[in-house]
Structure 1
């Protein structure tokens, strides 16, 4: 199976969190359709987030996509389909369940980006090679300190295969899915929980659950949106 190799050189404040060498190599197959990234970020200064700041994170992410892949950005933003990515709220690792809007410049926070289709994984792969060093978030600009793999690269076929032999082994974890600031949207309904029907109804609608399922499409997976 062909593999995609990603080499990131530390520049400025951006570096792979889990490596001590000057370079890190991350490899996953070109068929990868699910991949989760954890960004470690620090406020430029002590600041307070505005209540709907997740809308700002969502807009920043789509703008990043637009700068290098306008067609994909248009699909993610304009098309009325389930969105094949998730974005978390900012998470304080000291207290993951809290959603304090006050940020401390001395504290590192986590922001999770999950790609749920091949096109988004492809874009994320390229983005990590030349990602920005700051997130321009209104009232609370953030410095990107490092990144690491949050959810290992895999494919839907792999998940289906695991489920066939062990139904309890196929998990799609997401940090704080019940956050009041975020919701899962599918088929015109909004839910605070990534329930099984929401997560997999659209996948099943795209084709039969078999190794021939086309995971290269961008319109079959649930997306995380702001209610």
Structure 2
């Protein structure tokens, strides 16, 4: 087998803290992918880190801080076949990984020099044909230094569904404070100097506003969240500096806009959501700004609707429990049962949801019993109604 191509890409220096790379992939044979296939890529990446640096892998997986990486979905044609996506043999795709900390950038550079020839997933393999720089290697100080001049307008393209966590729910709206809160969290975790969160976000609320947008709302299945509603498209923002001048915050705002190209926006960026790009002035309104959006497929649409139906049914059985706990339990049960109905194995579901196999098995049994009980009650009520009408 021939070795993967290693083009003469710019190697980043030892002080690099942020970088984004794109892998060009080729399906070696037909590959079936689940609707939540980004969880498999997420797991593969963490396994790569674990094989050479278990401590870093544990930090990335279990650390309570912000996640130091982001990934994209596959960019390329995936065909909906039965209950799966199909990556046809020899079809080509791109997949992007961003590193947001110095330690992960160092690991990624070492990994690049001796990376594997394939990405081995549960149901098939992709050949790694080439690796390129997607966003240039840099540091947080460099982002700060290059941010002395703040443009009065800027445009962000949200390439994959984007949403935010709000009181245990998902908020699919591009509210400026939510957007810059998500960037500031990463900055404060990984940059040498942190900034006061409440003060900065209060300033954002005063000076940043939306002037134009072209958005679509969509639902996608994401790990054990069941499904989330997110927005894709472009948003144009303006800055009213007359409202409140603050030179440090102005510079930070400019730096965070640049950081968005690496870290993505909002919730579940380590599973492909929230991929973001700043659109240049010369690109706004042109074909260059028409970035490919990741849309739902018939499989995802079916899965999303079925999860919603089952969640409502399970909530009927948990009226005593109430609150967020009932909602969360109902959603997990619904996700597991909906995916089992589509033919996925418990092992694959457990792996995707990052849950113990025995827990998933017990939840699947409990979900089936709950559905059987509801169906039995429905038949009993229909029988009583039929007898009463005689």
TM over 0.5: yes
Root mean square deviation of aligned Cα = 3.5
Q: Aligned partners of 1:187 and 1:103: how far apart in 2?
A: 37
Within-5 A mapping of 1:158-169: 158-167=142-151
The answer to whether the Cα contact below 8 Å between 1:14 and 1:144 also exists between their aligned partners in 2 is yes
**Match in the other structure for 1:122:** 106
Find the counterpart in structure 2 of residue 208 from structure 1.
194
Task: Select which of 4, 8, 16 maps to 1:32.
Answer: 16
Question: Given that residues 91 and 99 in structure 1 are in contact (C-alpha distance below 8 angstroms), is that contact kept between their aligned partners in structure 2?
Answer: no
> Structure 1 225/69 Cα, relative in aligned 2: closer, same or farther at 3 Å?
same
* Preserved contact between residue 118 and residue 128 of structure 2 (Cα < 8 Å): yes
The 1:197/1:60 distance shift into structure 2, 3 A limit, reads same
Change (3 A) 1:204 1:82: closer
- 5 Å-filtered alignment, 1:1-227, equals 12-16=2-6, 19=7, 24=8, 26-92=10-76, 101-167=85-151, 176-178=159-161, 195-204=179-188, 207-208=193-194, 224-226=269-271
CA 1:202–1:127 in 2, change beyond 3 Å: closer, same or farther? closer
Q: Shift of the alpha carbon at 1:74?
A: 0.7
For structure 1, which segment, 121-130 or 43-52, has the greater mean C-alpha deviation from structure 2 after superposition?
43-52
* Contact persistence 2:9–2:132 (CA under 8 A): no
Greater RCO structure (CA 8 Å; 6+ sep): 1
Contact 1:82 1:187 in 2 (8 A): no
Match of 1:176, SS state, is strand
Per the alignment, in what secondary structure is the counterpart of residue 199 of structure 1? helix
The alpha-carbon distance between structure 1 residues 66 and 117, as it changes in their structure 2 partners (threshold 3 A), is same
TM-score (norm 1): 0.71
Q: Would you say the 8 A contact 2:69–2:270 is kept in 1?
A: no
Offset of residue 204 of structure 1? 3.5
Normalized per residue, the structure richer in helix is 2
The 1:175–1:155 alpha-carbon spacing in structure 2 relative to 1, beyond 3 Å, is: farther
What TM-score do the two structures reach when normalised by structure 2?
Answer: 0.43
Deviation at residue 28 of structure 1 after TM alignment? 2.1
Unaligned regions of 5+ residues in structure 2, if any?
196-247, 249-262, 274-390
**Gaps (5+ residues) in structure 1?**
1-10, 211-220
Question: Are residues 59 and 186 of structure 1, via their aligned partners in 2, closer, same or farther at CA, if it must alter by over 3 Å?
Answer: farther
